[in-house]
């Protein structure tokens, strides 16, 4: 049985075949409309979410399957003190696959060890978010036609932003990807990513503070919000929250064929005036998230695919 905790759980071949399947689903959705008619997905969300939970649910419904679950720790037995290991043992009796989001790093991994159904990490604290990464990879590949030979700028809260950690782990496995890491000093990427992922793999990367300096070089700009819920005090958050604001003026520095991605939710870091720029791809990205989660569910459940 397979689980998905980080993009490293998938080989590059497996990543590519999930993206290929997602692209086929995009082209021929009808073909897949009943392949999971007898399957159930449980969404166990101990932390807020709009896109991830709903896109998992939409993905399973598009495949003909059913969904059940909870959307906050307060409405589950976690509020009575139940462990994730016990919860997943119980949920294994109700569902065939589960997506779990939890504020504690490693909680979905603990659950997977006690589970008799595949567990997908839908975000664990400030650690990893592999299905957002699949979404990001599909978006980049669909818009640019490739995942190699790109310069990507990751901007904002690189310290607590789990989507950034997962995306770097996935992209370093494609040839000639250059990273420009744009953040304030206090929100630089964690050393386990810098040392163990970038330096160890001999990856070309730079760390800068000014977005304006990086913009002209980029093929992809990946904006992120400052992760308010991971700060220890409100004062630090308030000081950091408007550090970057991408607006029309700054977009003049970017290439004509650069695309802006954002995992969403957006707070202030992209001005709404940028939304009408053809290079703004963050709402298209949401749609790719549904296709890729459909492909992931089919892969982990080893569903026989229609020809």
Active site residues: 51-52, 80, 101, 129
Q: Does 125 bind ligand NCD (CB under 6 A)?
A: no
CB of residue 267 to ligand NCD, shortest distance in Å: 8
Q: Which is nearer to ligand NCD, 112 or 224 (CB)?
A: 224
Strand order in the sheet with 220-223: 205-208, 177-182, 150-155, 220-223, 259-261
Cβ count within 10 A of residue 41: 26
Q: Which of 71, 112, 139, 163 touches ligand NCD (CB under 6 A)?
A: 163
Taking CB under 6 A as the rule, does residue 263 contact ligand NCD? yes
Residue 265 burial (10 A CB sphere; 0-12, 13-18, 19+): exposed
Stretch that binds ligand NCD, among 18-26, 63-71, 259-267, 293-301 (CB under 6 A): 259-267
Residue 162 as a binder of ligand NCD (CB under 6 A): the answer is yes
- CA 179/CA 198 separation, integer angstroms: 9
Closest C-alpha to 58, from 259, 302, 221, 294: 294
Q: Which residue has the CB atom at the shortest distance from ligand NCD?
A: 263
- Contact between 132 and ligand NCD per CB under 6 A: yes
Q: Which residues contact 172 (CB under 8 A, 6 or more apart)?
A: 197, 198, 201, 203
10 scored as a contact of ligand NCD (CB under 6 A)? no
Over the window 187 to 226, marking each residue x when it contacts ligand NCD by CB under 6 A and - when it does not, the resulting string is: -------------------------------------xx-
In the complex, the smallest distance separating the C-beta of residue 270 from ligand NCD, rounded to whole angstroms, is: 12
40: left (phi over 0), alpha (psi -120 to 50) or beta: beta
DSSP assignment letter at 305: P
Place of tokens 């409309």: 33
Rounded to a whole number of angstroms, the minimum distance from the CB of residue 63 to ligand NCD is: 21
Site string for ligand NCD, 85-124 (x = CB under 6 A): --------------------------------------x-
For ligand NCD, the binding residue among 43, 52, 133, 299 (CB under 6 A) is: 52
Q: Is 128 helix (H, G, I), strand (E, B) or coil?
A: strand
3-state secondary structure (DSSP) of residue 217: helix
* Interacting residue ranges for ligand NCD, rule: CB under 6 A: 51-52, 123, 129, 132, 162-163, 224-225, 263-265
């Amino acid at each position: 049985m397979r689980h998905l905790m980080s993009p490293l759980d998938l080989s590059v071949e497996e990543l590519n075949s999930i993206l290929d399947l997602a692209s086929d689903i995009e082209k021929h959705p009808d073909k897949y409309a009943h392949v999971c008619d007898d399957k159930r997905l449980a969404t166990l969300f101990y932390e807020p979410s709009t896109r991830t939970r709903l896109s998992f649910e939409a993905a399973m419904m598009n495949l003909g399957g059913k969904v059940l679950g909870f959307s906050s720790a307060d409405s589950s037995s976690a509020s009575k003190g139940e462990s994730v290991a016990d919860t997943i043992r119980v949920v294994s009796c109700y569902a065939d696959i589960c997506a779990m989001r939890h504020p504690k790093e490693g909680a979905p991994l603990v659950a997977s060890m006690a589970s008799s159904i595949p567990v997908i990490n839908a975000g664990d604290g400030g650690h990893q978010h592999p299905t957002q990464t699949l979404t990001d990879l599909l978006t980049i590949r669909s818009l640019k036609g490739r995942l190699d030979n790109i310069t990507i700028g990751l901007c904002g809260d690189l310290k607590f932003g789990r989507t950034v950690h997962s995306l770097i782990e996935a992209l370093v496995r494609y040839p000639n990807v250059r990273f420009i890491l744009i953040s304030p000093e206090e929100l630089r990427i964690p050393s386990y990513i810098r040392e163990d992922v970038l330096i160890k793999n001999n990856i070309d990367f730079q760390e800068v503070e000014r977005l304006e300096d990086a913009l002209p070089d980029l093929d992809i700009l990946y904006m992120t919000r400052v992760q308010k819920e991971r700060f220890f005090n409100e004062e630090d958050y308030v000081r950091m929250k408007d550090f970057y604001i991408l607006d029309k003026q700054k977009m003049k520095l970017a290439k004509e064929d650069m695309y802006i991605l954002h995992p969403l939710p957006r707070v202030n870091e992209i001005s709404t005036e940028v939304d009408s720029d053809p290079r703004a791809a963050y709402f298209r990205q949401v749609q790719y998230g549904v296709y890729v989660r459909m492909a992931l569910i089919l892969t982990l459940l080893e569903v026989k695919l229609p020809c």
